[in-house]
Chain A
Amino acid sequence: MLKFLIKGVFRDRHRYFFPLLIVSSGVLIMVFMLALINGYMDSFIRQNSGFETGHLKVVTRAYSELISQKPYDLGLLDIQSDLQRWKQAYPQLDWVERIHFGALLDVPDSQGQTREQGDVIGYGVDLLSSAKERQLMGLDKALAVGKFPAQASEILLSDKAFRRLRLNLGDPVTLIGSDVYGSLAFMRFTVVGTIKFGVEALDRGAVIADLADIRSMLDMEGGAGEILAFFKTGKYDPTAVKRVRDGFNRQFSDPEEEFSPLMLAMSDQNNMGYLMGMMRYLLGIFSLVFICIMGIVLWNSGLMNGIRRYGEFGVRLAVGESKRHIFWTLVLEAMVVGVAGSCIGIILGVLISWYFNIKGLDVSVFNRNSTLMTEDVVYTYVSLRTTLAGFIPGVLSTVLGAMLSGIAVFKRQTSQLFKELEA
């Protein structure tokens, strides 16, 4: 039966060409858009986790209550032995320690007197012992001028601040902040490079310094404001993240102790859970809208087909075929076209997405006024889920369109049949 129907569909160009064209182009668009959104979401997660949230983050309970203020004075002190235990307990994670701090950057003149001053946001990260942080924070790409710190007391400064403070590479500067006990803390640094992140808040005045220097400046030996953890696979898996977070907090966190460590998932921080939920919601809406639009278009196409095959249905009814049988053969034919069209759409969609997965798509024009931390070039990401998400609506919309137009079969009056055929 199926073989007969397939032959019937593909030997009649009018039956397959238009629906196939619509379904395949619709699925192509769907697969590409889903791959693009997935790529954008991946970029968003990668950028935000690398720079800010980690896949998971450990802070003290007191710190977590004021986390938006980055209160390093409530950070983790003398944490090295605990960190070793956590590393052993969770070998699937990579850990990095960071200190975020606010400071005043003071530029001296030749007499050692203040020439310029500016507020900066500081990041104390491990720059000297490994290249991990460079990769996580995207520093290689962000480096505008100069080089990376190669020894203690060397820093990177945001390019805008560097120009505003009329600095040259190699100039000495003094960072003035508060140490972990609230005393004024001073440390002399040399600016060896500048960075541009493309995010206004950071580009206005960010300082990246080695963690050991910042620990020394802020009197936080062996401590950190935050400890970020990343899955070694590099992929953010919400289920695994929640499992690790809950296990960690059960094992290592004491709700009664304000300086006890507390693990937060990425979705617990910076409204990320809401943003990721919104993106998933948008994907759902996108699929639904796609099915509706395609369904309507294919319904229309089915109706046109029904008019063209009006006579054929009449004859089939006359020779004794039931209306229900005709309806289901129409649905089956649509399914054949839907499957074929979706396969073509998926192949084309995957090919185009693959191209942009390698070359990337420049979306910097949309990021100009954005405060979200996203990359300027988005690399599409195709997965089995993406292809299925294109395939299923492709078939569904074709079947839905055929079912809607096929209702007309039930309205057909056999009593008028011969008159119609004579005419």
Chain B
Amino acid sequence: MNKLAAIVLLALCLGLGAALPDASAILRAVDANLTSSSAKSSTRMVIHGKRSSRTVGSINWSQGSQKFFTEYTAPPREKGTKMLKVGSNLWIYSPGTDRTIQISGNMLKQSVMGSDLSYEDFMEETSLAEDYSSTVEGETVYDGRACWILNLTAKKPGKAYYKCKLYVDKTRSVILYELLYAKSGKLLKSVQYSDVARIGTRWYPRYILFKDELKDGRGTEYFVESIAFDISIPPGTFTKASLKK
């Protein structure tokens, strides 16, 4: 009788194990949706501050996960400010002072335009599968979609977020909800993704709500107004010289 129970239990465990897919396979599918050889997007960020909300517009170019260029288009005070990321270097160009300043050290922890995003967030590599080891915790329904719950732990030290919990849409391989933790286990940031649309061959969220959990406030809404993948980007875009153009 005992042997029979043990066999049934083993069978159940194996059955359950078989129901959970490989976490790295899920992450690779997520990466495939998010990354591209190149991209150009037009975005709008609505930052809900303590006193008021303001909208920051930008046009962004990226090449792989190492090169990133942003030009702010609104509000008037920020218009013409540019940001360039190449590898682990980040520069900001201020048209008012005509100076290009490298952002490093503690300055990376500063908020981008007063939003719930930090410069450090921009410095993060976009390949989750490469940067994190992962396990599937289980499944759930989030925002009406069946999701896998993944637990991620940074493979290398120095990552802005040591642990992450992701809710990944089972069928579209898009993250719908993300909780980002420090090594101590403290929740630092939460990110909600929605308005997932089919863009070419990939699924992509066009609305993201970032919430810095260490700050009061209603978070930062990020609207992707348009995005095009695998496009040709003019040479010289990802150089310091382009900041002053």
Contacts and interface: CB of A to CB of B under 8 A. Distances in A.
Nearest to A62: B50
Contacts, number: 57
A48 interface: no
B201 interface: no
Given A186-B94, A187-B96, A219-B77, A181 B101 contact: no
Interface residues of B, number: 23
B107 A104 contact: yes
Interface stretch (A85-93, A106-114, A365-373): A106-114
Contacts of B111: 178, 182
B50 A74 contact: yes
A73 B114 CA distance: 11
A176 interface: yes
B115 A259 contact: no
Contacts of A104: 107
Nearest to A183: B113
A237 B77 CA distance: 45
Contact of A106 (B101, B110, B113, B114): B101
B110 to A, nearest CB: 6
A174 B114 contact: no
Residue from A108, A183, A187 with most neighbouring chain B CB atoms (10 Å)? A183
Contacts of A112: 98-100
A74 B216 CA distance: 13
A283 interface: no
Nearest to B83: A184
A77 interface: yes
A83 to B, nearest CB: 19
A176 B47 contact: no
Interface in B109-130: 110-111, 113-115
A311 B106 CA distance: 88
A186 B96 CA distance: 7
A77 B51 contact: yes
B99 A181 contact: no
A182 B49 contact: yes
The 5 A-B pairs at the shortest CB distance, nearest first, are namely A182-B114, A186-B94, A181-B114, A188-B97, A183-B113
Interface of B: 47, 49-51, 54, 77-78, 81, 92, 94, 96-102, 107, 110-111, 113-115
Given A74-B50, A184-B110, A187-B97, 5 more contacts: A183-B78, A184-B113, A186-B99, A188-B96, A219-B77
19 contacts: A62-B50, A74-B50, A77-B51, A106-B99, A114-B101, A174-B99, A176-B101, A176-B107, A179-B77, A181-B47, A181-B113, A182-B115, A183-B78, A184-B92, A184-B110, A184-B113, A186-B94, A186-B99, A219-B77
